[in-house]
Amino acid sequence: MDHEPSFRESVDLMVDRAMNAIGLDQGTASAIKSCNSVLQVRFPVRIRNKIEVFTGWRAVHSDHRLPAKGGIRYAPYADQDEVEALAALMTYKCAIVNVPFGGSKGALLIDPAQYERDELELITRRFTLELVRKGFLSPATNVPAPDIGTGQREMAWMADTYKQLQPTDINYIACVTGKPVHHGGINGRVEATGRGVQYALQEFFRHPQDVAAANMQGTLEGKRIVVQGLGNVGYHAAKFLSEEDGAKITAIIERDGALINEEGLNVEDVYQHIIQHHSVKNFPGARFEENGKSVLEMECDILIPAALESQITLENADRIKARLIAEAANGPLTYGADEILHKRGVTILPDAYVNAGGVTVSYFEWIRNISHIRFGRMQRRHDEMRGHQVASMLETITGTKVAGHHRDSLARGADELDLVRSGLDDTMRTAYQEIREAFLEGDGIQDLRTASYVVAIRKIARTYLDVGVY
């Protein structure tokens, strides 16, 4: 390959590899691959006494399961090709982690940094109106979530706009996920994608054979990690991996340069520095490298691209020195880069698996919303009581007092955050095991990305076969 295909073509080429490996028939293959519908809207908003026209998209890649699910990004570089590629990734992502949703994605062409809060609210509410009117947003059919440039705030505006338009929809609050917790959101959603990256890596390191194939050994403890992007995903992943698993974050790459410290950076300190100074420059205790992108090529064990798509390309793939790449962003490697790195024996944990923690916890939030009850509300005190009963029984049998901290941990009923983390951890572990099993089948399945797509495609194809095409 001597030229880079577009992002959407890149995803399709990767999927083709998996379809060929399992000999999927052409008809089913194109049914799965094609993007079902794309909405493009243009709408005017009066800003600072001038009328501005905004362009947005919402693509539904698949609706074999409903609702179709996926984030909405606000970015000055968005286009339809990108939205379709991201919607396709959502389809495969949901299938890999057994989230019963179709795949969708949206974007608004805007640089949010150029607008005030009230202006963004106006624009978001107007965009939501377009999506609802055209049937591209509802709890039953299409449920957006945060992505690059959007967060809890935008989701709250969207949910509120939908509620005003559909006041009789009893499930209105489930029309978007990633909402603030006091507004129908779920505990643990903000950190979910980063947490999922951590759980994915933890599961990878539970398989010594896989670790050895990536030319490493042992656990995450002491592993040198380079992270690109300290946004919501990169920040949480880096923080958890360094603070809880003992990994060393040896470099953080941001828009305006990179910070390097072979002894390991304090992620929270870097994050606070960025919040204060809007830049990584002048961070004490680290070497600054102006050419941030070149730091992707730094010697390390694990590289976590957690920023934008197409960061590792035909141009720099040859110089990447990481043993393992965990794709926390969507599409950070182009198809050509993926081929080069595979040939060079670099293990790649693909985006459709690694960053699926976000949509997994979105699924939990959606269930919480349509069941109208917080997880753990019915059982928590009951579990607590049972714990005390067990402790007291132990005391009666043994004649010794159960130490206070043992009694407390035994009697602690799980709250919503405990349950969300447990559900996410289980999801990430199970998905890796399914991917691994497919990988071990061999034949045309030569890497974990192809194996992930095989897992997804088999599940999606089954729904076409079971239900038929009409």
Q: For residues 303-342, which are near ligand GLU according to CB under 6 A? A: 330
* Total site size for ligand GLU, rule CB under 6 A: 11
Structure tokens at 66: 């409903």
**Among 105, 179, 223, 239, which one carries the catalytic annotation?**
105
Closest-by-Cβ residue to ligand GLU is 71
Q: Which is nearer to ligand GLU, 71 or 231 (CB)?
A: 71
Would you tell me the crossing angle of helices 7-21 and 448-467 to the nearest 10 degrees?
80
Starting at the edge strand found earlier in the chain, the sheet holding 142-146 runs 37-47, 50-60, 102-109, 68-75, 142-146
Site for ligand GLU in 70-99 (CB under 6 A): 70-71
> Which residue among 24, 60, 110, 145 contacts ligand GLU (CB under 6 A)?
145
Candidates 63-71, 159-167, 250-258, 303-311 — which segment interacts with ligand GLU by CB under 6 A? 63-71
Give 364 or 375: the residue with its C-beta nearer to ligand GLU. Answer: 364
Indicate the residue among 302 and 352 with the shorter CB distance to ligand GLU. 352
Strand partners, 228: 253, 305
Pairing mode, strands 257-260 and 248-254: antiparallel
Name the minimum Å distance from CB 165 to ligand GLU: 21
CB of 158 to ligand GLU, least distance (A): 13
Give the per-residue contact string, 337-366, with ligand GLU (x = CB under 6 A; - = no).
------------------x--xx--x----
200 vs 216 by CB, closer to ligand GLU: 200
**Pairing state between β 102-109 and 50-60:** antiparallel
**Footprint on residues 176-215 left by ligand GLU (CB under 6 A):** 177
- Residue 331, classed as helix, strand or coil, is coil
SS3 of 44, please? strand
Q: In what order do the strands lie in the sheet with 302-305?
A: 287-289, 257-260, 248-254, 224-228, 302-305, 324-326, 347-349
At its nearest, how many Å lie between ligand GLU and the CB of residue 171? 16
Q: Would you call 163 a catalytic residue per the annotation?
A: no
The SS3 call for residue 249 is strand
Q: Measure the N-to-C terminal CA separation of the chain; round to a whole number of Å.
A: 38
Cβ atoms within 10 Å of 114's Cβ, excluding its own: 10
Catalytic sites, residue numbers: 105
Binding site for ligand GLU (CB under 6 A): 69-71, 145, 147, 177, 330, 355, 358-359, 362
